[in-house]
Structure 1
Amino acid sequence: MSTISIVSTTNSNFVTPLATLYRSILVNNSNNNFDFYIFGDHLTAEDKLQLKRLELDCNNCQQINYLSVDESLFRQAVTDDRIIKAAYYRIYTADLLPQLDRILYLDCDLICTSDISQLWQTSLNGKVIAAVEDAGYVPRLAEMGIKAQQPFYFNSGMMLIDLKRWRDENITKKVMDFINQHPEKLKYHDQDALNAVLADNWCYLHPKYNMQSRLIRREQVHPLPPAEILAEEARQDPIFIHYSGRSKPWLEFGVRPHPLRNEYWKYAPKTLQLTTKQQIS
């Protein structure tokens, strides 16, 4: 059995969704072992116990590991009510995991529906990362004044990363320099910085590996017809469902229900479902 290494970032508010994501991965990937690396933003002992249960409940969960980074490095990071400073910590993944050559980064608000072996084994063809185009189809590179041969802009909620190449090309410093030197350009926070630095240096993945909410709701049609065909394939057979945007499956009030919210509750730990709903309400 191969071991797949996964990195995520969370605070206490997103521990239950993260545990649910990891459980969905473990349930649907019994032929692989997993090591999880978490950038925790002031997690409590109870938070860590909730995640520790995965090691006890799932035979293919080898270890839950925690990473830390100096918060002062992000003094100038642009944040808002949805994007916290800890969201930027993942930029230091390659520096903090020198023993690894490849990782899969995942946001907390995803669910895995099937085997990810093929994704894990994807060749990056000399690029630093592989990712899925952002379903907003926004011309962010042009808006930021970034010159690139390909105008595509990726969603950073799922990234397959060649850590060795990241280190060799000094991507951490380049991204941090962009964050500190161009805060006015960070409309979409570190995702903008990552796209600015990695323009033309990422592989285009099928949207089934990061089926975002805009794609699910058919809110926009891709300007390129072949890409819209891929979008429809993703809707029919997603590998990762990404509850991007404000509508989350664990939110009961204040937002329109997510069309695939029931997929989330298939994997949420039964003992936590009622507690989570009570906390939200």
Structure 2
Amino acid sequence: MEVLDKQTINIFLSSDDIYAKYIPVLLESICSKASKNYNYIVTIADANIAENTKSSIANSIKLYSNFKIKYVDINNLIRKYKDLFVTFAHFTVSTYIRFFIPDILRDVNKAIYLDIDLLINSDISELYEINIDDFIVAAAVDACYARELYYNKNNEISYSENVLGLPKGVPEFNAGVLLINLKKWREENITQKCIDKLSEIGTPRVLDQCILNSVIKQGHIYKLPVEWNYVWHAQLEDLKPITESSAFNGVIKEYNEKIHQIKIIHYTSSVKPWNIYGTHKDIHVLSYLAEDWWKTASKTGIFTQLLTSQLNHNRTHNEKANINKVKRIYLFNLRFFKVKKSQNFKSYYLFNIPILKIKTFY
């Protein structure tokens, strides 16, 4: 039965052209599982995304009539705050645009913000339907920073309490998945408070995430279960219980319990599914979480491009490698990689898709 006058769910993304090429995979994971009882508007904060990338993004939703893409040019914001928006490592200035979502979506009172390096394993409307009328954001604990806080890594306790002003022992939430009460955000003037705090701190350790944690008070944060933002870096760090009485063990316990119930995988750190299959030492830990991303990518029109890019990446970073050696890297680390032998050929398959055929001489 067709639902008339469907409610609209607003989803917000922010990207430059480097990360935008992975948006079709994220969108495929969202669209394929999203309830048909809603319409969805995906607003993308555009930091010079190329037209061919936008074409790929448009193609990724063409089968889903209840999804619409909108772009908002953010170059003026970037220029205005270029001296404040410091970046390092794999972060880009697009991450700071989270501060301005209530200004960009002026007529919207509730929205979902998503990082690009995510894979949605569940119906996104379930997240939207969470009641946050009395909160500014809903967000999940960041297990990696909880771990750093416990061990006081890099003097994290002093930074957390004295710089960010967090209560003792309270870890940061991860800002890669946010359900936002835009109306309450505006009422509390959070955008200006974030700009002021960023100006005060200068170079926060986790950029805008630190600022949001500092500005939004604990009583205004709805604690999402970790399955809504399961940071794979937690597995990379190999989290283990410390003592029977440690509050940190509660975070570890939740992560271990939810490993097979993940609603959103968040590929945190500089190690991503699209660059993992090289010589990274933790591939044995991460490969099983990367498989879902590649399976989803195989359903998009950019799959061949992504695969070629991965192979070229491996070849560029190892000049002695030939195509056979690169393929062996995939073979040893991907359970979904298959090789079929015939009398004179070896054929390589990824998700039963033929990707390479090599003549043999033995």
Whole-angstrom distance in 1 between the partners of 2:50 and 2:133: 41
What is the letter of the counterpart of residue 308 of structure 2? Q
Whole-angstrom distance in 1 between the partners of 2:32 and 2:254: 26
Which residue in the other structure is 1:235 paired with? 259
Shift of residue 146 of structure 1?
Answer: 0.5
Q: Does 1:5 align with 2:37?
A: no
- Residues 189-228 of structure 1 mapped to structure 2, 5 A cutoff: 189-200=207-218, 201-217=220-236, 219-221=238-240, 223-224=246-247, 225-228=249-252
Aligned residues: 279
Whole-angstrom distance in 1 between the partners of 2:130 and 2:301: 36
Whole-angstrom distance in 1 between the partners of 2:164 and 2:21: 39
Q: Does 1:57 align with 2:63?
A: yes
Cα RMSD, aligned residues only: 2.0
Which residue in the other structure is 1:272 paired with? 302
Which runs of no fewer than 5 residues in structure 1 stay unpaired? Answer: none
Shift of residue 226 of structure 1?
Answer: 3.7
SS of alignment partner, residue 279 of structure 1: helix
Which residue in the other structure is 1:89 paired with? 97
Shift of residue 118 of structure 1?
Answer: 2.5
Which contiguous aligned blocks of 4+ residues in structure 1 show a shift greater than 6 angstroms? Answer: none
**8 A contact 2:9–2:40 mirrored in 1:** yes
Shift of residue 126 of structure 1?
Answer: 1.4
What is the letter of the counterpart of residue 164 of structure 1? K
| Higher relative contact order, structure no. (Cα contacts within 8 Å, ≥ 6 residues apart) | 1
Q: Any idea what the Cα deviations from partners look like across 1:68-95, whole Å, max 9, x if unmatched?
A: 3321232222201311112212211101
Q: Does 1:102 align with 2:132?
A: no
Which residue in the other structure is 2:127 paired with? 119
**8 A contact 1:109–1:242 mirrored in 2:** yes
- Residues 101-180 of structure 1 mapped to structure 2, 5 A cutoff: 101-124=109-132, 126-136=134-144, 137=146, 138-139=148-149, 141-142=160-161, 144-148=163-167, 151-180=170-199
Q: Any idea what the Cα deviations from partners look like across 1:34-73, whole Å, max 9, x if unmatched?
A: 1101111111111111111134222231x10112332123
Whole-angstrom distance in 2 between the partners of 1:12 and 1:279: 15
Shift of residue 230 of structure 1?
Answer: 2.2
Which residue in the other structure is 2:79 paired with? 72
Whole-angstrom distance in 2 between the partners of 1:116 and 1:233: 21
**8 A contact 2:143–2:251 mirrored in 1:** no
Whole-angstrom distance in 1 between the partners of 2:259 and 2:234: 8
Whole-angstrom distance in 1 between the partners of 2:136 and 2:22: 28
Which runs of no fewer than 5 residues in structure 2 stay unpaired? Answer: 1-5, 150-158, 314-362
Shift of residue 217 of structure 1?
Answer: 4.3
Larger Rg computed on CA atoms: 2
What is the letter of the counterpart of residue 249 of structure 1? P
- Choose from 53, 56, 68 the match for 1:47: 53
TM norm structure 1:
0.91
Shift of residue 150 of structure 1?
Answer: 7.0
Shift of residue 191 of structure 1?
Answer: 0.7
SS of alignment partner, residue 57 of structure 1: coil
Shift of residue 147 of structure 1?
Answer: 4.5
